[in-house]
Amino acid sequence: MTKSNNKSREIQGGAVARRDFLTKAVFAGATVALSSVSSAASLQHASSPGAGDATSQAKGRRKLGTLEVSSIGFGVQNMSRKYETTVPYRPEMIKIVRAAYDHGVTFFDTAEAYGPFECERILGESITPFRDKVVITSKFGWNIDPETGQFRMGLNSRPEHIKQAVEGMLKRLRTDRIDLLYQHRVDPQVPIEDVAGAVKDLMSQGKVLHWGLSEMGPKTLRRANATLPVTAVQNEYSMLWRGPEEVVIPLCQELGIGFVCWSPLGVQFLTGAIDANTRFAAGDIRGEETRFAPDNLSKNLSLVKLVKEWANRKNAAPGQIALAWLIAQKPWIVPIPGTTEMAHMVQNAGASSIVFTPEEFKELNAAVADIHVQGQRLPDGVLAFSGVEAPPKS
């Protein structure tokens, strides 16, 4: 367990099972080589940060390309196992997902890798009463046995494996279609054109409605979109990690592609639940992230101080400020915080009601830009799976 003046260790920002799975993938798949148009018009009006955001936030809805979702989504990735390896009470997880819908959340994100399989089952059961009123996503790409869920070394985006994976997803999610299907990580052995071809076949059968990529290289995104228009990209993005601002977000704007933020609360950091005294137990991936090493952590806490100051100004929680900052960047950016606590879900969903005036947004953006986060967001072995370019089509 972590130690931080008896503060809650709940992972409000999500990405727990996601990161746990990535960590396992690094060690199990260390031998895997990592070599190397319709939606555009609807997004091009968002040419500057904060443009049109007050209206989007007030409505609580926004577009990923042509796909309408809630301004704040829900990441269903740590509902089968928390950081401390405890298993949440399943009926309570179902209750939280259903309550999220009651609080206006219509965008739910999971993946076959989370569990594996178990988080898809939880989501599928949870949304049965209102399936046709929500957007659900899942992801393929890791080499997971489609029958047993056993993780086999590395990545697998071979077309036949993608189709097998989707059949399993449909059963676990209790649905006849996946609204948005992502490639979880780029397979360095499979041309992205072949991946897009498999997804296109699934679309023709009505089993997939939209598709996207996660943590891909920019050239791969261009090629993917040219082959089969991409609806959304999913990358880590928060006040704590602003890397996508350099290339990926401008590229999404150019191509008319929506952007979904995983770990929008910086694995709990931006909620204020981590302080200078926090240390992480063995097995907690945050202990391997150098941004949380003691020397770096003490410096990076200036960011927490900033969100707390703004929380006081806006009569909000620190995490709500972090989420509102994200949705204020562009009207086609959607964060997907996750939690296993009802109170935190309600708090996260309420972030869509927080609106910054143009002056406030400029001030907050400048203050965030002045803080230079120290350390890496992930261990080197995990980072090796991000930004990968697919091989050329022969």
Half-sphere exposure of 49 (CA within 13 A, CB side): 19
Amino acid at 359: E
Lookup: tokens for 107: 């965008």
* Strands laid side by side in the 107-109 sheet: 74-75, 107-109, 135-140, 178-183, 208-214, 232-236, 258-262, 333-335
Distance, in Å, from the CA atom of 324 to the CA atom of 310, rounded to the nearest integer, reads 11
The residue among 31, 388, 99 whose CA lies nearest residue 235 is: 388
Contact 16, 78 (CB under 8 A): yes
Contact 300, 272 (CB under 8 A): no
Could you tell me the sign of the dihedral formed by the alpha carbons of 371, 44, 103, 358, in that order?
Answer: positive
CA distance readout (Å), 164 to 30, 109, 155, 204, 264: 25, 20, 14, 16, 31
Catalytic residue among 83, 89, 101, 114: 114
Distance, in Å, from the CA atom of 47 to the CA atom of 154, rounded to the nearest integer, reads 38
Provide CB contacts within 8 A for 354, sequence distance 6+. Answer: 57, 314, 316, 320, 321, 323, 324
The residue among 335, 318, 329 whose CA lies nearest residue 260 is: 335
Per DSSP, the three-state class of 360 is helix
Lookup: tokens for 35: 């070599």
Neighbours of 375 (CB within 10 A): 14
114 annotated active-site = yes
Distance, in Å, from the CA atom of 130 to the CA atom of 124, rounded to the nearest integer, reads 11
Distance, in Å, from the CA atom of 19 to the CA atom of 374, rounded to the nearest integer, reads 20
Q: Which residues are catalytic?
A: 114
